[in-house]
Amino acid sequence: MDDPKKAKPFADDVTQKLSSKLSDLATKEKEAEVEKKATALGLSYINLDKFPISQEALKLISEEQAEALQTICFLFTGEEIRLASLNPNNPQVSNLAKELGDIHHARVKVYMISENSLTIAAKIYDKIPTIIHLEGINITEEALAKFDEKLTNFDSLQNLVKETSLTEAINLVIAAGLKFLASDIHIETEENDVKVRFRIDGALYNALAMPKEASEKIGSRIKLLAGLKLNTGNKPQDGRFSITLTNDKVDVRVSIIPSAYGESIVMRILRASGAGLQFDELGLKGKAYNDLSKQMTKPNGMLIATGPTGSGKTTTLYAILNKLNRPETKIITLEDPIEYKLAGIIQSQVESKSSTDNKSENEKNTRYTFARGLRAILRQDPDIVMVGEIRDLETADVAINAALTGHLMLSSMHTNSAAATIPRLLAMGVQSFLLAPALDAIIGQRLVRRLCPYCKVEDDTIDNATTTEILNTLSSIVPESGHSISDINNLKFFKATGCDKCHNLGYKGRVGIYEIFMMTPEIEKLILGGNVSEYEIEKLAIKNGMITMLQDGLLKALEGLTSVPEVFSKVRD
């Protein structure tokens, strides 16, 4: 005989689903009635259920006024205002529409809505505190100093979060991100809880977990800070806010996407002080340093930094610009987005495709792209131009022609090696007879974590196969590279252990590993001949003394700057 205890939950579940379907059906019928009534009165109708209402729009009408007039502002673009009302023909609603139009110099349109829509929209007011600092949040140096004493590792962060309110908890998570020098804070809603992870020196670490029921409030709090739409949970959103410290300013870029159990939030932390990296601190040595330094002094030509996302290309280009930044030199950059502000340099930001989603076709067709921006920049009489990234043939052609007509052109691309950049440009459609004389140098790079100097120890775990691979890689370094290894049969490497200084991570900070490809007459001839392969180009570059990224990484491991596993995890032949 069936167990009645098991049958009851099943029956309850069926009843609940049936009740929900009947409720949805009744709501649809009411919406249909309101829509029919609006049509009969010659009015526009809208259903605000799941409509993305921005807080900027909602705040045009106070909660008290919205309740009195049964009217909501659900859209505000700067040029257009849209109101939704239970009774659009109410003279007071008409007066409100005229008043808002006059104040904001905008077109105003009023829609009829149902009581259900009004209730849904009105609930958003509850998520907005009385005073909202949309410019940023205030985390003082004193607050960070207080956290400094208590935040020693991720366990201490977990304990502190349990003792604070939700608003304070978000501030604490951000402060911890700053304390641990995280580049990104990931807040991920999962089935049973909300996970917070920090990306530190390129690696992700689990920092803490919060209750699943806090998910919506966490999202609302961050959306408020970033100026995003509070009632949108099924579409991606991007925003930003700033944190002003005594000796630094931090920009926080927010990305939110829907996921299976809620929303995934990533906050990218950009410190203004991060732009201060100097060229000599990049980690370039020997022939690579000398070759690149020589190229940078040329009045024209093209220099490209290449590597995957997160390999430090922008940091390298900024360090070069810092080195070249002099009063007698005009430097203009074109970026998407501008990550750091550089004094004495004109920085221009292109328009992303998403920023023109609500614009007319004509406005979309005249979007401020890399190619259009670059043409405009060249009319500004620059000496040095940096284009954030070459993504298409149009941008590549304009950049190459600029390099051939007296400008030093800097840019970046996504390729796996320096040598792979040339076949990629040719595949885009760039003419070989223009590329060969324009291109002077390519920087292939990755970022590897630095071993903590306080707790690193000699690595005795490297097996014979790995040792043989390292020997073969380093022994193939040609004398022309300017590098030599005194005792190749007695190599000594180090590994991470962990201590209080590095928060028990074993690593602290990152250093670049590079390969600097320089154009030579032999390689130029190869390009002009057509059918260029990455392998042939790299072979010639190595013959002329280029140290590969793998070799550079292993040389830095020999110096004790990083570990062999860290190098192999980023690049391997």
Instruction: Determine phi and psi for 352, rounding to 5 degrees.
Output: -80, 160
Q: What pLDDT, on the 0 to 100 scale, is given for residue 541? A: 94
Q: What pLDDT, on the 0 to 100 scale, is given for residue 143? A: 57
Q: How confident is the model at residue 130 (pLDDT cuts 50, 70, 90)?
A: very low
**Mean pLDDT computed over 128-140:** 45
Q: What pLDDT, on the 0 to 100 scale, is given for residue 276? A: 64
Q: Which of 45-54, 269-278, 501-510 ranks highest by mean pLDDT?
A: 501-510
Q: Is the pLDDT of residue 20 over 60?
A: no
**Which residue, among 534, 533, 324, 557, has the nearest Cα to 444 in the 3D structure?**
534
Q: Is the pLDDT of residue 337 over 90?
A: no
Beta bridge partners of 265: 187, 256
Q: Is the pLDDT of residue 360 over 60?
A: no
Q: What pLDDT, on the 0 to 100 scale, is given for residue 364? A: 61
**Mean pLDDT computed over 355-360:** 54
Q: What pLDDT, on the 0 to 100 scale, is given for residue 131? A: 34
Q: Is the pLDDT of residue 62 over 90?
A: no
The burial of 6, by beta-carbon neighbours within 10 Å (0-12 exposed, 13-18 middle, 19 or more buried), is given as exposed
Q: What pLDDT, on the 0 to 100 scale, is given for residue 445? A: 97
**Mean pLDDT computed over 488-503:** 86
Q: How confident is the model at residue 136 (pLDDT cuts 50, 70, 90)?
A: very low
Q: Is the pLDDT of residue 106 over 80?
A: yes
Q: Is the pLDDT of residue 488 over 80?
A: no
Q: How confident is the model at residue 123 (pLDDT cuts 50, 70, 90)?
A: confident
**Which residue, among 121, 75, 85, 81, has the nearest Cα to 98 in the 3D structure?**
81
**Mean pLDDT computed over 478-502:** 77
Strands (E), 350-479: 384-387, 408-413, 439-451, 457-458
Higher pLDDT, 278 or 415: 415
Domains annotated on the chain, with CATH = 7-127 (3.30.300.160), 136-273 (3.30.450.90), 277-446+510-548 (3.40.50.300)
Q: What pLDDT, on the 0 to 100 scale, is given for residue 95? A: 84
CB 526 within 8 A of CB 267: no
Following DSSP, what letter does each residue of 82-150 receive, concatenated?
EEEES-TT-HHHHHHHHHHHHHHT-EEEEEE--HHHHHHHHGGGGGS-SS--TTEE---HHHHHHHHHH
Q: How many CB atoms lie within 10 A of CB 45?
A: 19
Q: What pLDDT, on the 0 to 100 scale, is given for residue 135? A: 37
Q: What pLDDT, on the 0 to 100 scale, is given for residue 259? A: 93
**Mean pLDDT computed over 135-149:** 58
Tell me the average pLDDT of the chain. 85
Residue-wise pLDDT tens digits, 453-464? 999 999 988 888
Q: Is the pLDDT of residue 50 over 80?
A: no
Residue-wise pLDDT tens digits, 526-546? 999 877 899 999 999 999 889
Q: Is the pLDDT of residue 327 over 60?
A: yes
Q: Is the pLDDT of residue 481 over 80?
A: no
Q: How confident is the model at residue 167 (pLDDT cuts 50, 70, 90)?
A: low
Q: What pLDDT, on the 0 to 100 scale, is given for residue 24? A: 67
**By percentage, how much of the chain surpasses pLDDT 90?**
50
Q: How confident is the model at residue 132 (pLDDT cuts 50, 70, 90)?
A: very low
**By percentage, how much of the chain surpasses pLDDT 70?**
86
Q: What pLDDT, on the 0 to 100 scale, is given for residue 222? A: 87
Q: What pLDDT, on the 0 to 100 scale, is given for residue 442? A: 97
- The residue written with tokens 């009843």 in the block is 15
